[in-house]
Amino acid sequence: MPSYAYFHKQFVPLSEAKIGVMTNAFHYGTAIFEGIRGNWNSEQKQIYLFRLREHYQRMHQGCQVLKIDLPYTIDELCQITVKLVEMCRFEEDVYVRPLAYKSAERLGVRLHDVEDDFLAFVIPWGPYLDVDKARCGISSWRRPDYNVIPPQAKITGLYANNALAKSEAIENGFDEAIMLTPDGHISEGSGENIFLVTDGKLVTPASYNNILMGITRDTVIKL
């Protein structure tokens, strides 16, 4: 079943959503993304999007960090996403990837005076890890400090750090990496927050441990 994208302010087939090779975000990692899960309910024949509004609230905050002028309100972003998922008509778990990015097709390292745009697409995607019990290894790659690049924003360029840790883990026979802060405290995985059960209590690294303030993490804490 073909998928669709929201691109240049219109809905188009995913295969037609293309950026130019000189796009600023492609060269410098100047984009903010979110990863929104949609869970298929076979009895109700419906996809339930996980905390959609909270994802776009975080995206708006990240756009402020990268000086991206996101031309949509949170309500409008939610409406675009719901329509996009409905158009795709998948009957399985999906993943929505919205991206606010520096869209100017010119080079130069800066955030100011660079045009912005927004896109989103939907693909089928099951569990993030293909195993029930993941074998984790401590990565030699450390999470950057706040004065290097702010980890509370999902900045595409930052995720080279996560990719290095993930590939190192796989190459060393593990399923996932556990990343530490520069001073050696547990931070997070390459693509998820970390929880530990100790003495009957659920504990997780604090916000000052260079973590992404995960929405799933927040849900677990509230539950």
Pairwise CA distance, residues 69 & 60, whole Å: 9
Do residue 28 and residue 117 come from a single domain?
A: yes
The DSSP string of 45-69 is TEEEESSHHHHHHHHHHHHHHTT--
The DSSP string of 60-115 is HHHHHHTT----S-HHHHHHHHHHHHHHH--SS-EEEEEEEEE--SS--S-STT--
Q: The domain containing residue 189 runs over which residues? A: 136-222
Pairwise CA distance, residues 77 & 52, whole Å: 9
Do residue 17 and residue 96 come from a single domain?
A: yes
Q: Which residues contact 185 (CB under 8 A, 6 or more apart)?
A: 205, 209
**Residue 39's CATH number:** 3.30.470.10
Q: Write down the catalytic residue from 154, 166, 201, 222.
A: 154
Pairwise CA distance, residues 98 & 77, whole Å: 9
Q: How many domains does the chain have?
A: 2
The amino acid occupying position 94 is: V
- Please identify, among 73, 97, 124, the residue that sits at the C-terminal boundary of a domain: 124
Q: What pLDDT digit, counting tens, does each position of 156-166 carry?
A: 999 999 999 99
Q: Quote the tokens at residue 33.
A: 């993304």
8: left (phi over 0), alpha (psi -120 to 50) or beta: left
Do residue 118 and residue 142 come from a single domain?
A: no
Active site annotation includes 18: no
pTM > 0.85: yes
**Residue 149's CATH number:** 3.20.10.10
> For each of the chain's 223 residues, which pLDDT tens digit applies?
679 999 999 999 999 999 999 999 999 999 999 999 999 999 999 999 999 999 999 999 999 999 999 999 999 999 999 999 999 999 999 999 999 999 999 999 999 999 999 999 999 998 888 888 899 999 999 999 999 999 989 999 999 999 999 999 999 999 999 999 999 999 999 999 999 999 999 999 999 999 999 999 999 999 8
